Structures are given as structure tokens and as C-alpha cells.
Amino acid sequence: MFEADQGLYWFVVFVLVMLESGLLFLSIPVALGPRKRSALKEETFEAGQVPPGSKRIRFALQYYAYLLLFLVFDVVIMFLFVWGYAFLSSEMASSVYPLALVAILIPPLAFTVKLTKTLDLW
């Protein structure tokens, strides 16, 4: 190998190892899993106990909007903390990136607020 190709070589090795390990992890359950289906194997259970009631339960979506708000703000806060830490040692030109991040995350936030008004949750 030439010196210039070392980076590409190790990248290809990394990708191949990840693909092989992914295929290995996907093939283990197929090899060790049950072959035949039966009513007993398909029965649901919770912590070793048979659950009361039906298998199909409709969940209320009253907390769906809170989940979306959490996901949006969790990502925003995580990146803004990192940006704030890096801001102390960088130039003012780096302020464009967090503004772009906030601009990208405004549509999910607007959708969440619209959804909460639609569902009359608040």
C-alpha cells in the first residue's frame, strides 16, 4: 500500500467490519430462534405473567404533543449547549450555524403547536 491510500484503506476496512458484524447480529436470531409457530409462543406476556384483557389496546394520544415537544427541544438544547461552549473560543461567524439549526427546527415546533390546538390537549 502507498502512504496516501492508508486513510482510504482503513475506512474500507471499517465499513466492511461494520457490515459483517451487522450481518452476524442479524443472522444469530434467525439461527437460534424458534422454527415453528404455535399459539403458546405467540401469546403475549408481561414479566412472566399473562396480561389481563385483549392484545389490541388503543392508546390515547394525549401525550403525543408533549413527546414531539420534548424531541424538538431536546435536540435544540443539546446542539445549542455545544455551540455555546464552542462560542467562547470561536469567531462571530459561527453564529450562523445555530441560527440555521433553530430555523430548521421551527417547522416541527410549529407542527407540534398546531397539533396540540387540533387535539385540544392544552
Q: How far apart are CA 99 and CA 107, in angstroms?
A: 14
pLDDT at 4: 58
What domains does the chain contain, in order, with CATH numbers? 3-119 (1.20.58)
pLDDT digits (tens, 9 = 90+) for 16-60: 999 999 999 999 988 988 778 888 777 777 777 767 776 676 766
Q: How far apart are CA 62 and CA 107, in angstroms?
A: 21
Q: Would you give the DSSP letter of residue 50?
A: P
Residue 9's φ and ψ, nearest 5 degrees, are -60, -50
Q: What is the pTM of this model?
A: 0.37
Closest CA relative to residue 105, chosen from 83, 84, 74, 81: 74
Residue 49's φ and ψ, nearest 5 degrees, are -110, 145
